Amino acid sequence: MMAKAAKARIESHGRDLFVILDGIKIAKRGHRSTPQAGQWVSIEPGFAVYDAPGLEIVIERNGRRLQ
């Protein structure tokens, strides 16, 4: 039996951008004029989100790539 593929999307809430994975906010985009500007900041333990070439993002959980 194959594992269910995770569904990720990017949503804006006011001036904040979030990565939402299976309905859970896992990362927030850093604001300008902060040390995290232009980076995804994890808000759920174990997750990491990175920008990839071609308007894609990479999502990792505990060091294992999900997307």
Percentage of the chain beyond pLDDT 70 is 91
* pLDDT at residue 3, as a whole number: 55
The answer on pLDDT for 63 being more than 70 is yes
Percentage of the chain beyond pLDDT 90 is 81
* pLDDT at residue 37, as a whole number: 95
7 to each of 15, 22, 27, 34, 57, how far by Cα in Å? 23, 5, 14, 29, 12
The angle at the Cα of 27, spanning 22 to 32, to the nearest 5 degrees, equals 145
Distance CA 49, CA 18 (A): 10
Instruction: Give the pTM.
Output: 0.84
For 3-61, give the secondary structure using H, E and C. Answer: CCCCCEEEEEECCEEEEEECCEEEEEEECCCCCCECCEEECCCCEEEEEECCCEEEEEE
